[in-house]
Amino acid sequence: MAYSQNKVLDTLVDIGGYNMHFHIIKGQGTPILFESGAGNDGSVWEAIATDVHDVTGTTVIYYDRSGFGKSELNPNHKKDEDFGIENGIFELETSLKKLDYFKELILVSHSYGGFYTTLLSLRNPNKVLYNVRIDANLAGQYTEDVLIKAEQDNSVSEMKDKNLGMYYLGINFANTVRQMWQKKYPKTIPAIDIISPIQRHHTDDEWKLLIKTHEDFVKEESNRIGIIAYGSGHYIFMDNPGLVVNAIIKAYTKTLSDDNKRLEVLSKTVDKSMDLFIQEKKKEKE
């Protein structure tokens, strides 16, 4: 869908001598913020965010973390640890405040982005209304042995001359997880936790721990829903976009107090689901 220029804001936000890149489709309702996984910039969300906006009419936001896409790194930082996740959260919050989208939010995260949305929820429990997690990281799925291996991975250092964003993410990863071990996802914020059942680079023991960690997360509170995305790999939102779009819309409708608005969104959801199903069938035949 083509949008008028005044509806789409693709902008750089100056947060203190360097810029963060944001893409926003403006609408009416609680904004939905998309947080990408490690190695990805915000553009991976373009199709999903557009579909969600078409149905809900609400504002959707995706962005590039510093060092990725069009977002710059803080030139004043000198140490590797300066570029850790706390700095990333500060950059995100500062940008959202400047854009005037830091009131209420629904969060959608993939993979490493799950750490960001967990921290953002913890720091702002009165602003975050819902989380939709798409194969999103939980700190409990990592053991100290796994983190030691990560710290000994020489390929991370090699990234310094190729991709500074990935280098800083990788060099700080073990400490990020250790930091997240001390954080607890807020009990009051509902969540939909979607996971892939397809084992990837993990050992059998690591995979069993990952699955158990997500199962325990869902069982811990009655306001959490667990979904297994059968047939989908890690990028569930690419393999099964219909499932992800519907999960996000479900979360959005849960935050609505107007029954008429809720029925309107649900009606559009049916139309969008039919359209996505037709598109998938076309792809299968190509």
- 156-168 burial, b for 16+ CB within 10 Å, e for fewer? beebeeeeebbbb
**Domain for residue 24, yes or no?**
yes
The mean predicted confidence, pLDDT, of the chain is 93
Range of the domain at 113: 8-285
pLDDT > 60? residue 142: yes
More reliable by pLDDT, 157 or 222: 222
Residue 2 lies in a domain: no
Pairwise pLDDT comparison (237 vs 259), residue with the higher score: 237
Question: In this structure, is residue 28 part of a structural domain?
Answer: yes
Q: What is the mean pLDDT of residues 41-49?
A: 97
The answer to the question of residue 59 being in a domain is: yes
3-state SS of the chain is CCCCCCCEEEEEEECCCCEEEEEEECCCCCCEEEECCCCCCHHHHHHHHHHHHHHHCCCEEEECCCCCCCCCCCCCCCCHHHHCHHHHHHHHHHHHHHHCCCCCEEEEEECCHHHHHHHHHHHCCCCEEEEEEECCCCHHHCCHHHHHHHHCCHHHHHHHHCCHHHHHHHHCHHHHHHHHHCCCCCCCCCEEEEECCCCCCCCHHHHHHHHHHHHHHHHHCCCEEEEECCCCCCCHHHHCHHHHHHHHHHHHHHCCCCHHHHHHHHHHHHHHHHHHHHHHHHHHHC
Distances (CA, A) of 203 to 13, 177, 200, 286: 42, 19, 9, 35
Q: What sign results for the dihedral spanned by CA atoms 71, 186, 143, 136?
A: negative
pLDDT in tens, 51-98: 999 999 999 999 999 999 999 999 999 999 999 999 999 999 999 999
Q: How confident is the model at residue 3 (pLDDT cuts 50, 70, 90)?
A: low
Output 226 or 154, whichever has higher pLDDT. Answer: 226
Weakest-pLDDT range from 83-87, 249-253, 260-264: 260-264
Q: What is the length of the chain?
A: 286
Residue 79 placed within a domain: yes
Place of tokens 């939709």: 132
* Within-domain flag for 166: yes
- 269 confidence band (pLDDT: 50, 70, 90): confident
Q: Quick: pLDDT tens for 161-175.
A: 889 999 999 999 999
The reply to whether 113 falls in a domain is: yes
pLDDT in tens, 212-221: 999 999 999 9
Q: What is the pLDDT of residue 154?
A: 84
Question: Judging by DSSP bridges, how do beta strands 8-14 and 19-25 pair with one another?
Answer: antiparallel
User: Residue 239 belongs to a domain with what CATH number?
Assistant: 3.40.50.1820
122 in a domain, yes or no? yes
Of 7 and 282, more confident: 7
Domain count, the chain: 1
